[in-house]
Amino acid sequence: MTSPVLNDRRVLLGVSGGIAAYKVIELVRMLRTLGARVDVTMTGAAEQFVTATTFETLTRQPVRRDVFEQWTETDAGHVSLAENADILVIAPATANTIAKIAHGFADDMLTVSVLACPGPVLIAPAMDHHMYLNQATQANLETLRSRGIEILGPEEGELASGILGHGRLSPPEQILGKIRSILGRTGPLAGRKIVVSSGATREPIDPIRFITNRSSGRMGHAIAQALIDAGARTTLVSAPTDLDPPIDSHVVNVESAGDMHEAVASHIRDADALIMAAAVGDYAPTGVSQEKVKKTEQDLSIELTRTVDILATTQRPGLIKIGFAAETANLVEYARQKLTSKGVDLLVANDARLAMASDENQATFFRPGREPEELPLMSKADLARRIVEELSQILRAEHPEPEFPDATTT
């Protein structure tokens, strides 16, 4: 499974000498899986922790160590390596490497590549807690930020020395997410703000019980990631899930349908589009007990009241709306009704029994004035990209770029 934001993109990975070097092996694997070409340069100290052979096996490319190697008629060594990179990532970045970059040193392949790289640079520090908090390190990091270099982490937790503190390398998933965010900034939705909802709302019965549904939030979170890949400023209004939100999404955590309604209403004021992928509860208990409802010999009856229909009641001139129809029967009939009643520009209909808690989905697109388009079974990540592509087309049609007259004509 490839990703458009990473497929055929060139990632130059600089590995410096910290114990966390072994963690970036997984980062390389994930980048390759998503279609990126990865070139690796290592410091001499890094090879004390991970061998070059490991990275060469994963990347199918030679590891670059020496500034003077790989000079040919078509390949100008470190210059070509850095110029051809879509992004340079240094992980782990030790205090020594950070200091050298901050002060413009160029005494190995990694630091030379930083100076020669015209593209974005991402640094993921990893070091001892006291080294990270040292004034010199903090000043060096601030210098790098002032030059536009992005810094991710470090995390707080148990370090190799056994102490607890800041200095852990950010997880490979987060580094990957940041790479996607940086590379996606020039995408088709650059400059657009999109609100997407996700997860299953919870309607409380008492302090410890609630009514919910089987939605995992995977679809909504996948859409949020696809939006970031496309360059959108993404607000994720999320009911409880077990998922980590995409890096650089603005996350608004909610519980109930009422909470989600308020959050959506607040954040769509300056948004270009709303995608309601959350499984919002249709009913909520009329009254919520302040104490745990005790078990008795009698059956328990709970009176339910209708919750607000967020998608149908959210109206704002110029706002593009995309909704979902999760059905178990009569999908086409119900989807056509919802397409009209909810006033959406695109309705994504699917069989809830197959979609919920699954990594795959088989959906049908319903658009006003057009015949339904049935899509094949695909991963939710792939479906998310199809939805975002559709949104891009709708936005271009609704808000086309201004046309300027040809300067050569009179």
Per-residue pLDDT of 120-146, as tens digits, reads: 999 999 999 889 999 999 999 999 999
What CATH number did the domain enclosing 124 receive? 3.40.50.1950
Same-domain check for residues 196 and 160: no
Instruction: Say if residue 74 is exposed, middle or buried (CB neighbours under 10 Å; 0-12, 13-18, 19+).
Output: exposed
Backbone phi, psi, residue 191, to 5°: 90, -5
Same-domain check for residues 254 and 309: yes
Same-domain check for residues 312 and 175: no
The count of other CB atoms within 10 Å of the CB of residue 300 is: 9
Backbone phi, psi, residue 100, to 5°: -65, -40
Same-domain check for residues 322 and 378: yes
Same-domain check for residues 129 and 110: yes
Cis, peptide link before residue 317, omega less than 30° from 0:
no
Give the domain-ending residue among 161, 182, 203: 182
As a whole number of angstroms, the distance between CA 79 and CA 85 comes to 10
Same-domain check for residues 192 and 157: no
| 339 in a structural domain | yes
HSE, side-chain direction, 13 A CA sphere, residue 305 = 9
Same-domain check for residues 197 and 132: no
Same-domain check for residues 162 and 244: no
Q: Determine the pLDDT at residue 405.
A: 44
Told to judge if 253 belongs to the known catalytic residues of this protein, a careful annotator would answer no
Same-domain check for residues 263 and 351: yes
Buried b (16+ CB within 10 A) or exposed e, 390-409: bbbebbeeeeeeeeeeeeee
| DSSP sequence for 108-131 | SHHHHHHHH--S-EEEEE---HHH
Residues of the chain with pLDDT under 50: 402-410
| 234 in a structural domain | yes
| 350 in a structural domain | yes
Q: Determine the pLDDT at residue 410.
A: 31
| 402 in a structural domain | no
Same-domain check for residues 169 and 205: no
Q: Determine the pLDDT at residue 404.
A: 40
Structure tokens at 119: 């593209």
As a whole number of angstroms, the distance between CA 275 and CA 288 comes to 30
Structure tokens at 89: 């990532």
Give the domain-ending residue among 182, 206, 235: 182
Q: Determine the pLDDT at residue 407.
A: 42
Q: Determine the pLDDT at residue 86.
A: 95
Question: Is the distance from CB of 308 to CB of 326 less than 8 angstroms?
Answer: no
Q: Determine the pLDDT at residue 265.
A: 95
Domain total of the chain: 2
Among the listed residues 96, 134, 213, 253, the single catalytic one is 213
Same-domain check for residues 385 and 250: yes
The closest alpha carbon to 168, from 122, 129, 136, 121, belongs to 129
**Full-model pTM:** 0.89
- 3-class DSSP state for residue 365? strand
| 4 in a structural domain | no
DSSP state letter for 6: T
| 1 in a structural domain | no
Give the domain-ending residue among 182, 197, 215: 182
Structural domain of residue 201, as residue ranges? 187-292+300-396
Max intra-chain CA distance, the chain: 89
| 410 in a structural domain | no
- 3-class DSSP state for residue 76? strand
What CATH number did the domain enclosing 312 receive? 3.40.50.10300
Structure tokens at 142: 């601030």
Same-domain check for residues 173 and 213: no
| 244 in a structural domain | yes
